[in-house]
Chain A
Amino acid sequence: MNAPPSPTQHASLQKTERQSQVVRALQAHLPAHALIWHAEDTTPYECDGLTAYRQRPLVVALPETEAQVAAVLRTCHALGVPVVARGSGTGLSGGAMPHEMGVTLSLAKFNRILKIDPVARTALVQCGVRNLAISEAAAPYNLYYAPDPSSQIACSIGGNVAENSGGVHCLKYGLTLHNVLQVRGFTAEGEPVTFGGEALDAAGLDLLALVIGSEGMLAVTIEVTVKLVPKPQLARCIMASFDDVRKAGDAVAAVIAAGIIPAGLEMMDKPMTAAVEDFVHAGYDLEAAAILLCESDGTPEEVEEEIGRMTAVLRGCGATAIAVSNSEDERMRFWSGRKNAFPASGRISPDYMCLDSTIPRKRLADILLAIQAMEQKYGLRCCNVFHAGDGNLHPLVLFDANDPDELHRCELFGADILETSVAMGGTVSGEHGVGVEKLNSMCVQFTAAENEQMFGVKRAFDHEGMLNPGKVIPTLQRCAEYGKQVVRGGRLPHPELPRF
């Protein structure tokens, strides 16, 4: 009975003590209902949209006022407790995965639209406001918020800021970065801070550009001022079929080369088309090797002109069939499959892993063919949807998580796609973020010195590393273990450092 505790028991005891300490400290600042720590209550927070990685947090804090947010941050900072901010939890890279010894700061209660200014064409919203809710609130003024990630019905603007979310219209309308004027929030120490401003620029370095896409590691976002843009009078969509993926890939480049910036330019391969057709019955061409969706928006005159030019280019590139939407219903039907690619994949496979790399547009066909070869190599199927216009891929690797070998092969398959993308001149993440999922792949894309400089950026904002630690930037040790530290120009960065 009096035997000393085993190492595991010891760790567990330490954790319990730490938990009590943090709970006591936070109770001084939060009402009872805004603080949860029992396992059954914190379990819903153990992962975000990337369910393969789970971790219950020490404590979940659900502040309701800015003063409470500041107090939580100050308290955690003083105690040296990591803080992981969380919005809607729809992220796909584990960016909001809790820290075992940390506080998950749920900002769900900051869900008010504070102001829609139709003259300035801006919306001032709290971080927990859903992406789509902004456009809905702006609709009476014929305005909308342009970035439209597929999860827009659920994802929050705070999360969009953290991930620099895109969507299907970003080639023409830009990413979150291009559509946000100001972010207000708190530093890791709980000090109020504003990045950007109501004007088109702010004095000093453009810290807003660093904060957007920083995955909650540099500051906590509470309030965001977004730009609203006038709703185009009309949008029409072309659906073009190709009997060869290379022709489809070339058609994408040809549209751009013709001086056209489509409002949306998406591609689906044959397996994906089959999966979504089964799900939405939109009448997709099941024989096509690839389908392109090519959208034009603007004034009726503008759209007619552009649809004509795009149709000519697509025909010239060997499209086997072309349909142009003649009504809003028909346009939505064309898009329905693309927008439902994920749920459709969920119906044909117990599990799937969604990748998110970006490559130069001209390599679209090359990467598709490379992925086809990988399907053989790893013995797994893969469906592909691409934001073709900006070269952003979303291959969905199908697997069964209950089969450990399939899970393992799926991970290798994913890593192979990311590394192939980097080798083709691309990047490991176009819009989903690095989070915990792609830490190893960061070792492929960046040198040790580059990763270290990013740690420097982190330190400049958050000296003690309290905000969302362990995400996005891999440590030198991790890269050494992964064995993929980049060798550029035949020289290893930091040759003086020991490896393995």
Chain B
Amino acid sequence: MSGIDHALGQAVERIRAAAADGTALRIRGGGSKDFYGVAPRGELLDTRALAGIASYEPSELVVTVRAGTSLAELEAALAEKGQCLAFEPPHFAAGATVGGMVAAGLAGPSRASVGSVRDYVLGATLVNGRGEVLSFGGQVMKNVAGYDVSRVLAGSLGTLGLIAEVSLKVLPVPPAEATLEFACDQADALRLLNEWGGRPLPLNASCWFEYAGAGALYLRLRGAVAAVEAACAHLGGERKDKDRAAADWQSLREQSLPWFDTAAGPDALWRLSVPQTAPVLELEAFGAPLVEWHGGQRWYKAPPTPAAAARIREAARAAGGHATLFRLPAHGEAHEATVPRFDRLEPAVERIHRALMREFDPHAVFDRGRLHAFD
């Protein structure tokens, strides 16, 4: 405990000193998501000394974890008690931390069915840009005392403060799981997914992509044994081998499926978040997407150029969504200055963003440009 208090104390001192002398700090855990968002700037503030599971009681469905704890360690502790982070956060590299997971706010294949990172954040302790240690939310499922500051930290990329500790809702691992495969094109896959979504089926995750010119839809069911078996009988398709399917879903979550391999070429990975009912997007020039989240998340491989960005963002917006320049090509030309990583904000919303960041971090200790290119 005293070691932890010491680590937190040190972080607080560092932030206060930075606030006083105008130093910018770059909060970093395992660095597994350095690629995401605008390249971080400032002196390194490593969170990994803030480590350890502070409390975990399976019957409360709540775990409280210090930010620098490795995500793998947390998941192993939960698995031991038959529980999990239902939203399957991607690690993207060894050493991913819980704080980084929350700050990035990225969820895995099950997101459309079970909710996102923020849906599972119950409370957080953060250190703001004044070096104040603040706690919001708590360790209970229902809490409306004050503004829900802890949830807005999910996806904030460190712009509001250093996440020191989070309390997360955890869930039992569902007793049964099955994966079905359907041969179909993208339009059929989207139609099927939206049809199934309206029925009381134990849907959990889906993925559609083309391999060697043929489209395949994979559907994962999770729930009570009886419900999964009944759904398999009802839906048809080809039932996949359990272990093989589990490995494939894991590869999807970590984007290590061959589809995601952009290392050699000039293409970046674009993430389009659109309504699940959005039709096939008119972006054929970039090839067929990989579709997740029952149609809600569509990945495209396209250059990180202003011209491609304009087409992609226009298509995403026309469908009612937005597009993120998710991962730059390893050896591509840098377009950072002209192609923002995240989509633009409505004027009132942008004003609120700037004001919020100033309120949490008046001396600009944290890199508020990580999320949007705000000055």
Identify the A interface with B (CB < 8 A).
117-121, 141-143, 163-164, 166, 170-171, 174-175, 177-178, 187, 191-195, 197-207, 209-210, 212-214, 218, 230-233, 253-254, 256-257, 259-261, 298-299, 301-302, 304-306, 358-362, 387, 389-392, 425-434, 438, 441-442, 445-447, 449-451, 453-454, 456-461, 463, 472-473
A205 to B230, CA, bound (A): 40
A321 to B345, CA, bound (A): 58
Is B237 part of the contact surface with A, judged by Cβ < 8 Å? Answer: no
Is B321 part of the contact surface with A, judged by Cβ < 8 Å? Answer: yes
Other-chain contact of B224, A210, A218, A306, A387 (Cβ < 8 Å): A306
Is B47 part of the contact surface with A, judged by Cβ < 8 Å? Answer: no
Chain A CB within 10 Å — which of B202, B227, B347 has the most? B227
A454 to B343, CA, bound (A): 27
Residues of chain A contacted by B143 (CB below 8 angstroms):
358, 427, 429-430
Cβ–Cβ contact B360 & A430, under 8 A: no
Beyond known contacts A200-B112, A214-B147: 18 more, CB 8 A cutoff: A121-B197, A170-B142, A175-B142, A191-B348, A193-B349, A200-B111, A201-B116, A204-B342, A206-B151, A206-B156, A207-B353, A232-B200, A299-B227, A299-B230, A305-B224, A391-B140, A392-B142, A446-B146
Is B132 part of the contact surface with A, judged by Cβ < 8 Å? Answer: yes
Given contacts A257-B59, A361-B59, A430-B144, contact A447 B356 (CB under 8 A): no
Is B204 part of the contact surface with A, judged by Cβ < 8 Å? Answer: no
Residues of chain A contacted by B132 (CB below 8 angstroms):
449, 453
Is B306 part of the contact surface with A, judged by Cβ < 8 Å? Answer: no
Cβ–Cβ contact B198 & A230, under 8 A: yes
A497 to chain B, nearest CB (A): 14
Cβ–Cβ contact A457 & B149, under 8 A: yes
**Quick one: CB contact mask for B51-71 with A, threshold 8 Å, 1 for yes?**
000000111111000000000
Other-chain contact of B198, A142, A195, A207 (Cβ < 8 Å): A142
Other-chain contact of A302, B115, B224, B277, B324 (Cβ < 8 Å): B224
Residues of chain B contacted by A202 (CB below 8 angstroms):
273, 322
Residues of chain B contacted by A205 (CB below 8 angstroms):
152, 155-156, 159-160, 353, 356, 371
A456 to B132, CA, bound (A): 13
Cβ–Cβ contact A360 & B105, under 8 A: no
Cβ–Cβ contact A453 & B154, under 8 A: no
Closest A residue, CB atoms, query B344: A203
A194 to B296, CA, bound (A): 19
Residues of chain A contacted by B141 (CB below 8 angstroms):
170-171, 358, 389-392
- On chain B, the number of residues with a Cβ less than 8 Å from chain A's Cβ atoms is 87
B170 to chain A, nearest CB (A): 11
Cβ–Cβ contact A431 & B142, under 8 A: yes
Cβ–Cβ contact B140 & A359, under 8 A: yes
Residues of chain B contacted by A389 (CB below 8 angstroms):
141
Cβ–Cβ contact A199 & B200, under 8 A: no
A10 to chain B, nearest CB (A): 37
Cβ–Cβ contact B224 & A301, under 8 A: yes
Is B265 part of the contact surface with A, judged by Cβ < 8 Å? Answer: no
Residues of chain B contacted by A304 (CB below 8 angstroms):
226
Residues of chain B contacted by A463 (CB below 8 angstroms):
355
Question: In B286-316, which residues have CB < 8 Å from any A CB?
Answer: 293, 296-297
Is B22 part of the contact surface with A, judged by Cβ < 8 Å? Answer: no
A197 to B322, CA, bound (A): 9
B243 to chain A, nearest CB (A): 22
Cβ–Cβ contact A193 & B346, under 8 A: yes
Cβ–Cβ contact A197 & B142, under 8 A: no
Residues of chain B contacted by A175 (CB below 8 angstroms):
142
A446 to B151, CA, bound (A): 17
A202 to B297, CA, bound (A): 12
Other-chain contact of A428, B145, B343, B344 (Cβ < 8 Å): B145
Cβ–Cβ contact B359 & A298, under 8 A: no
Cβ–Cβ contact A119 & B277, under 8 A: yes
Is B244 part of the contact surface with A, judged by Cβ < 8 Å? Answer: no
Residues of chain B contacted by A254 (CB below 8 angstroms):
59
Residues of chain A contacted by B322 (CB below 8 angstroms):
197, 199, 202-203
Given contacts A205-B159, A209-B151, A360-B139, contact A472 B146 (CB under 8 A): yes
Cβ–Cβ contact B142 & A198, under 8 A: no
Cβ–Cβ contact A206 & B152, under 8 A: yes
A124 to chain B, nearest CB (A): 12
Other-chain contact of A230, B200, B274, B277 (Cβ < 8 Å): B200
Cβ–Cβ contact A425 & B148, under 8 A: no
Residues of chain A contacted by B144 (CB below 8 angstroms):
163-164, 213, 427, 429-434
Q: Give 20 CB contacts A-B under 8 Å.
A: A119-B194, A119-B277, A120-B275, A193-B346, A199-B296, A200-B112, A205-B152, A205-B159, A209-B148, A210-B148, A230-B201, A253-B60, A360-B140, A390-B141, A391-B141, A429-B143, A430-B140, A430-B144, A449-B134, A453-B149
Is B250 part of the contact surface with A, judged by Cβ < 8 Å? Answer: no
Closest A residue, CB atoms, query B342: A203
Other-chain contact of A178, B119, B128, B227 (Cβ < 8 Å): B119
A191 to B293, CA, bound (A): 33
Closest 7 CB pairs of A and B: A301-B226, A456-B359, A259-B172, A460-B355, A390-B141, A430-B142, A199-B321
Question: In B103-124, which residues have CB < 8 Å from any A CB?
Answer: 105, 111-112, 115-116, 118-119
